Amino acid sequence: MTRFIVVPQWQGSASSRAMQLIDGAEALAGDLPRPRTVVVDVPMEAGEALDTGVLRASSLRRIRAQLDAALELSAEPVLTVGGDAGVAPAAIAHAAARCSRLAVLWVAAHPALHDPSSSPSGAFETMALGAVLGRTDAGLGLAPGTVAPERVLLAAARAADAAEEAVAAELGIRSFLIPGDTDGLLAALSGVDADGLYVHVDVAALDPSAVTGMVRPVPFGPSVTELTAAVAGARERVPLVGASLSGYSPASAAVATDDLGPLLRIVGALA
């Protein structure tokens, strides 16, 4: 059975709506099975960069330590719920420690392949996948080679900038649209020789018509049905060993439950 770790982290986001990620995480936590859910206590202070090139690195490190501790208590698959996408590297490290050939399916409009020198904002969420691939340290990333780039697949990425496109080309990371390239995505996943699958979904991967609470909406994304079908197909090919969901940023706490229907369908696909 899946365990759930909710991390209302906002410090990795560059958005002016960053603190509304707290409302989103708390709304999702309220609909998860309480006996199987842990909520990480996220500090309210922003924190300092500490000469790392990563905004708010001091707070992010504190949260990472708490998240690592929560992950270590579970021998079962974990669905980590943010907060911003910066919660994913710790959860992927936990999964990689249990699989020698972990595949990562990263479903997001923005591929998050920056490092501190290329990120236009310095926000950790812009570097999250780069951190998984060993391109960002600051006490927040994985060691290079922990996850092989050839086992990383991008899905629904349609807002990459030039620096991210260059990294993807350098590392040979393949990108597929959903639903147009779903068959190609699943065929590629079948060929990566993986013994476990980690799926990260950022809410902004969806078309803006599907969910209103997005930090950086990008048009022409998949519907919830198209996204969950792709996740289901991926799980049929490689066993799921972990997942994360990030980026739910409702306009206010008062409307935080408005999008729970579609988001809980995604939780169901990942759990």
pLDDT tens for the 271 residues of the chain, in order: 899 999 999 999 999 999 999 999 999 999 999 999 999 999 999 999 999 999 999 999 999 999 999 999 888 899 999 999 999 999 999 999 999 999 999 999 999 999 999 999 999 999 999 999 999 888 999 999 999 999 999 999 999 999 999 999 999 999 999 999 999 999 999 999 999 999 999 999 999 999 999 988 999 999 999 999 999 999 999 999 999 999 999 999 999 999 999 999 999 999 9
Which token pair is 22?
Answer: 């707290």
The whole-angstrom separation of Cα 192 and Cα 194 is 6
Report helix, strand or coil for 119.
coil
Specify the length of the chain in residues. Answer: 271
User: What pLDDT score does 144 carry?
Assistant: 95
Decide: 84 and 54 in contact? Cβ < 8 Å: no
Non-local CB neighbours of 75 within 8 Å, separated by 6+ positions: none
User: What pLDDT score does 103 carry?
Assistant: 98
CA-nearest of 56, 46, 68 to 78 is: 68
User: What pLDDT score does 74 carry?
Assistant: 84
Cα angle for residues 61, 62, 66 (degrees, 5° grid): 115
Decide: 116 and 163 in contact? Cβ < 8 Å: no
pTM of the model: 0.98
Scanning 39-181, the segments in alpha helix (DSSP H) are 57-72, 88-96, 128-132, 162-171
User: What pLDDT score does 138 carry?
Assistant: 84
Please, which residues bridge with residue 103 across strands? Answer: 197
Decide: 112 and 120 in contact? Cβ < 8 Å: no
The whole-angstrom separation of Cα 149 and Cα 137 is 17
